[in-house]
Structure 1
Amino acid sequence: MGQEIDFLGRFHNATKRDYVQRVVEHDKAECAAIAKQWGFDYWDGDRSHGFGGMRYDGRWLPLAEDMVKHYGLKAGDKVLDIGCGKAFLLYELTRACAGLEVAGLDISQYGIDNAKEEVRPFLHQGNATSLPWPDASFDLVISINTFHNLQVHELDQALREMQRVSKDKAYLCVESYRSECEKANLLYWQLTCESFHRPEGWRFLFDMAGYTGDWGFITFA
């Protein structure tokens, strides 16, 4: 079984959030419905519908460097990002490790069409529950803030697929909560989340699906 690793904390905590304003300023249900179309509004529209404009700025290079170092990646290794979005992290991984072979999958065709052009040819539109690669295809499989967008029956299948295409190394990060305050903040802030679990609940689901990789949690304090 893997271990909990906090790769994302310093990036997540750098953003200040007004949780109550997120709920009262706009029709939250309408915003969530628009976000789940995974189109322009989610990626590059108003902040109330998603990222509010996701543009490359190089911020993910330190994360890529941490992953390359931790997992001992080298030229010729293959890495898959499930829920790659615009593939900024995949691009940074190729900068952090020259010669790395990358692939990405995302539900959003808009995200792929507007991805970092250097890695766009290696991206596929699809669902995490059915990965178009053979068993043990990748030296490292990652998924950052994606699996909590799946309903529980989809989540089990996606975890099994992630395990299937990985040789032995994997890392996923999901949103979670450790207290009633964090649960309320998560509910206020999220737009696309379908699976709400405490860390121990997530670990139970990992075990049930046979997932043996590493994991991390994003919380909203």
Structure 2
Amino acid sequence: MPYRDFVSLVHKSTTRDYLARVTERDKAEVADLALEWAYDYWDGSRQTGYGGYKYDGRWRKVADAMVAAYGIKPGMRILDVGAGKGFLLHDLLEAVPGVEVHGIDISGYAIEHSMESVKASIVEGTAAKLPFPDDHFDLVISINTLHNLYVYDLFAALWEIERVSRGAKYLCVEAYRNEREKVNLMYWQLTCRAFHTPQEWEWIFAESGYQGDHEFITFE
């Protein structure tokens, strides 16, 4: 399972005020709002989520890196598990005209407000039960999604990703390597259910039979 540096191209460019997430508003209250996966999470304040998740082209560098790494060509079929507003799918379409993209997300709000270029290709649903046939996709990706699942759904999602893939697979999840990163993650997160070190994640991958690539983002 090769380690990939795709999302770090975006993650490390973001400035975060960890203490503000736990001092400006009641953390449990804002977490409840975030878990509705609606306006507050995507387009509300920074305390409850992204603080306005708008397309700005930042995912294009990730798309280009994936195209180079996986040899993505026109006609290939790609699935994004946790596609959100479809920014990465849009950038993949621009990077490789003729590629076939699909997405799934738990948030009806995100899909409703997704990019017009990919809106019809994103369905509402859960990573633990993908509504696609076996061996259907040349590449399955999942970015910053699976750590939001309880362990039983996490294993189910990994099984599902293996089931629908006939080619490459890549996922990115949050992790911590020391106590400072664990505290920062606890402060910053709103929807996370799986808090693991890289070693624990690798054990989960092995136990579930996941054989794709992976990446960890940490909060230094």
Q: Which interval holds the TM-score relative to the shorter structure?
A: over 0.9
1:114, CA displacement in angstroms?
0.5
1:134 aligns with 2:133: yes
- The list of structure 1 runs, each at least 4 consecutive aligned residues, that deviate by more than 2 angstroms after superposition, is none
1:51, CA displacement in angstroms?
0.5
Give the corresponding residue for 2:99.
100
1:159 aligns with 2:158: yes
Per-residue CA deviations over 1:89-134 (Å, capped at 9, x if unaligned) read 0000001111100000000000001000111011100000000111
Matching of residues 54-203 of structure 1 within 5 Å: 54-203=53-202
Structure 2: distance between partners of 1:185 and 1:63: 25
Structure 2: distance between partners of 1:96 and 1:137: 21
Asked if 1 retains the 8 angstrom alpha-carbon contact of 2:85 and 2:110, the reply is yes
Structure 2: distance between partners of 1:10 and 1:101: 24
Asked if 2 retains the 8 angstrom alpha-carbon contact of 1:168 and 1:213, the reply is no
Asked if 1 retains the 8 angstrom alpha-carbon contact of 2:84 and 2:110, the reply is yes
Per-residue CA deviations over 1:143-176 (Å, capped at 9, x if unaligned) read 0000000001110000000111011200000000
RMSD: 0.6
Structure 2: distance between partners of 1:3 and 1:151: 25
Asked if 1 retains the 8 angstrom alpha-carbon contact of 2:21 and 2:188, the reply is yes
Structure 1: distance between partners of 2:45 and 2:114: 19
Structure 2: distance between partners of 1:137 and 1:14: 34
1:141, CA displacement in angstroms?
0.1
1:62, CA displacement in angstroms?
1.0
Structure 2: distance between partners of 1:96 and 1:56: 16
Matching of residues 33-44 of structure 1 within 5 Å: 33-44=32-43
1:35, CA displacement in angstroms?
0.0
Aligned residue for 1:187, secondary structure, equals helix
Give the corresponding residue for 2:31.
32
Aligned residue for 2:19, secondary structure, equals helix
The farther-off stretch of 12-21 and 197-206 is 12-21
Structure 2: distance between partners of 1:16 and 1:103: 31
| Structure 2 spans left out of the alignment, 5+ residues | none
1:10, CA displacement in angstroms?
2.5
TM-score (norm 1): 0.98
1:202 maps to amino acid:
W
Give the corresponding residue for 2:7.
8
Asked if 1 retains the 8 angstrom alpha-carbon contact of 2:80 and 2:104, the reply is yes
Aligned residue for 1:49, secondary structure, equals coil
Asked if 1 retains the 8 angstrom alpha-carbon contact of 2:9 and 2:61, the reply is no
